[in-house]
Chain A
Amino acid sequence: MKLKEWACGQGASCRTALNWFHAGALPVPARQGPARPSGVEHLQAAVELKSQARKLAIVVVAGCVSIAALTLLRGRRGDGWRGRRGDAGHRVHNLRVERGMTALRLVARGGARYASNAPRLFARAGEHRQQLRNDLALQTAEDVAATLGTMKGVLMKLGQMASYVDDGLTPAARRTLSRLQDSVPPMSPELAARVVTEELGLPPEQAFATWDPVPIAAASIGQVHRAITLDGRAVAVKVQYPGIAETIEADLGNVALLRRMLKITAPSQDVDALLAELRERITEELDYRAEARNQQVFARYYRGHPTIHVPEIVEELSTRRLVTSDLADGARFAELASWPQAERDLAAETIYRFVFRSLYEMHAFNGDPHPGNYLFGGGGRVTFLDFGLVKHFTDDELRPLVEMVKHLCVENDPSAFRQAMVDAGFLMPDTPLPTDMIVEHMALFYDTVRERGPRTMTREYASAVSRRFFDFRSPLATYAAIPRSYVILQRINLGLFALLAELSATADWRCIAEEIWPFVQAPPCTPMGAAEATWLAGRGDLAQAGRAVP
Chain B
Amino acid sequence: MTAEPYAAASGLVERSAAAYVSAVPDRPQDDGFFGPASVTWRVAGDLSAPVAGLRSLLMQALHPLAMAGVDQHSDWRLDPVGRLAATSAYEATVTYGDRASATRVGQRVRAIHTRVRGVDTVTGLPYEAGDPALLLWVHAALVDSALAASTLFGTPLTDADADAYVREMTIAAELLGVPHEIIPASVAGLGRYIADVRPALRCTPAAAESMGYLLDPPGLDSGIAELWQDIRDAAIATLPDWAREMYGYPAPAPVTAKRRTEIRQALGVLDAVFLGEPGVLEARQRLALRMRSAGSKAD
Contact = CB atoms under 8 A, between A and B. Distances in A.
Contacts of A136: 285, 288-289, 292
A152 B285 contact: no
Contacts of A176: 272-273, 275-276
Contacts of A172: 223, 273, 276
B268 interface: yes
Nearest to B262: A254
A523 B239 CA distance: 76
B42 to A, nearest CB: 11
B226 A264 contact: yes
A99 interface: no
A34 to B, nearest CB: 47
Given A250-B261, A251-B265, A180 B289 contact: no
B272 A152 contact: yes
B271 interface: yes
B222 interface: yes
Interface in B224-282: 226, 261-262, 264-269, 271-273, 275-276, 280-281
Contacts of B223: 172, 260-261, 264
A136 B281 CA distance: 12
A299 interface: no
Interface string B139-182: 00000000000000000000000000000000000000000000
A180 B274 CA distance: 10
A452 interface: no
A246 interface: no
B89 interface: no
A410 B39 CA distance: 70
A149 interface: yes
Interface string A126-158: 000000010110000000001001111001000
Contact of A155 (B262, B266, B269, B281): B269
Interface string B89-107: 0000000000000000000
B265 A133 contact: no
Nearest to B268: A150
A335 interface: no
B47 interface: yes
A149 B271 CA distance: 11
Interface size class of A (residues with CB under 8 A): 20 to 34
A251 B262 CA distance: 8
Contacts of A146: 47
A71 interface: no
A380 to B, nearest CB: 37
Interface in A295-322: none
Given A133-B285, A136-B292, A151 B268 contact: yes
Interface string A177-189: 1011011000000
Contacts of B276: 172, 175-177, 179-180
A151 B265 contact: yes
B175 to A, nearest CB: 30
A151 B272 contact: yes
Interface in A258-288: 260-261, 264
A152 B268 contact: yes
Contacts of B288: 136
A234 B247 CA distance: 67
A257 interface: yes
A261 B266 CA distance: 10
A30 B151 CA distance: 67
A353 to B, nearest CB: 37
A131 to B, nearest CB: 13
A542 B225 CA distance: 57
Contacts of A155: 269, 272
Nearest to A159: B272
B285 to A, nearest CB: 6
A243 to B, nearest CB: 15
7 closest Cβ pairs, A-B complex? A150-B268, A176-B276, A264-B223, A151-B268, A179-B276, A151-B265, A150-B264
14 contacts: A135-B289, A150-B265, A152-B272, A155-B272, A172-B276, A175-B276, A176-B276, A179-B276, A251-B265, A254-B261, A254-B262, A257-B265, A257-B269, A261-B269
Interface of A: 133, 135-136, 146, 149-152, 155, 172, 175-177, 179-180, 182-183, 250-251, 254, 257, 260-261, 264
